Amino acid sequence: MGFDFGVAQPVRLTKVSPARLATFDDCPRRYRLAYLDRPTPQRTGPWAHSTLGAVVHNALRALFDLPVLKRVPQRAVALVAEFWKDAGFQNDEQAARYRARAKGWVAEYVEDNDVSHDPVGLERWVSAPVNPAPGERPSMIIEGRADRIDARAGELVIVDYKTGRRPPDEYEARASQALALYAVAAARTLRMPCTTVELHHLPSGTIAAAEHTPESLRRHLQRAEETAGDLRLATDTLEAGGDGDVLFPARPDRRCAWCDFRPSCAAGQEAAPAAQPWDLLAP
């Protein structure tokens, strides 16, 4: 017998991060290899552009941890040297060249931007239950670590550092699902409005800013919810004995050249020749 007492069934919340959503969107096979398969399949070695990005991020985080009077170009340069690693570079000469560039980037960043304010968060973990439909029960939990969260004029601003080959623009900032989800999660976690997101490109000194509306944030949440639903279904079916290759298909394209899991993916190896670990460095 089945009785309906009018009691709503609990909603299963899917916990997702911008990185996981982006990985599944780009290539479900890579998602499975990165997050589900155990032991973790063979990966490539370190990439020079990732090393460079990590050094710059760590140096700027440490800089903002200092008292305001110590946030000077010379200290920023010293922090790059402190955090520097040579992993992924072609040789000592190339590593030294990019170490010098990274020092110049952070020095110029400190000179050209106001670094006298204390951010609300540095590598701050934010987490919040959300639903794209206002007033509805949460359908997922968005969580992740934002590079920097500023408080300006009573509102939060999400700042993301970039060290890639191409300067970003306003469209890229607005289209970034990660920045939009961080804005939503930060607003709920810190209980302050957050609609502005910024990409700070160190090599060019470019700051690409975008102002979100409730509608644009809702669109990002809807897309995230759709991806989260697909991800949850595939994962549950895999755990029930489904075929991982069918549930998490590869999406071969030119990005396979620099995929971390290329050594463990035959489809990726066939899609493009392997990139050198330093090929994605900013010119």
Q: What is the pLDDT of residues 65-78, one digit of tens each?
A: 999 999 999 999 99
pLDDT of 133 over the 90 cut: no
Tokens of 131: 């639903």
pLDDT (average), residues 84-106: 98
| Residue extents of the structural domains in the chain | 48-112, 119-223
Amino acid in the structure at residue 41: P
Amino acid in the structure at residue 67: P
Q: What is the pLDDT of residues 238-278, one digit of tens each?
A: 999 999 999 999 999 999 999 999 999 999 999 999 999 99
- Phi, psi values for residue 61, rounded to 5°: -60, -45
Closest CA to 37 of 225, 265, 257: 265
Distance CA 107, CA 75 (A): 8
pLDDT of 205 over the 70 cut: yes
Distance CA 94, CA 86 (A): 9
pLDDT given at position 10 = 55
pLDDT given at position 136 = 87
pLDDT given at position 4 = 47
For the domain made up of 119-223, the CATH class stated in words is alpha beta
Q: What is the pLDDT of residues 213-228, one digit of tens each?
A: 999 999 999 999 999 9
Percent of the chain with pLDDT over 70: 96
Q: What is the pLDDT of residues 17-64, one digit of tens each?
A: 999 999 999 999 999 999 999 999 999 999 999 999 999 999 999 999
pLDDT band at residue 11, thresholds of 50, 70 and 90?
low
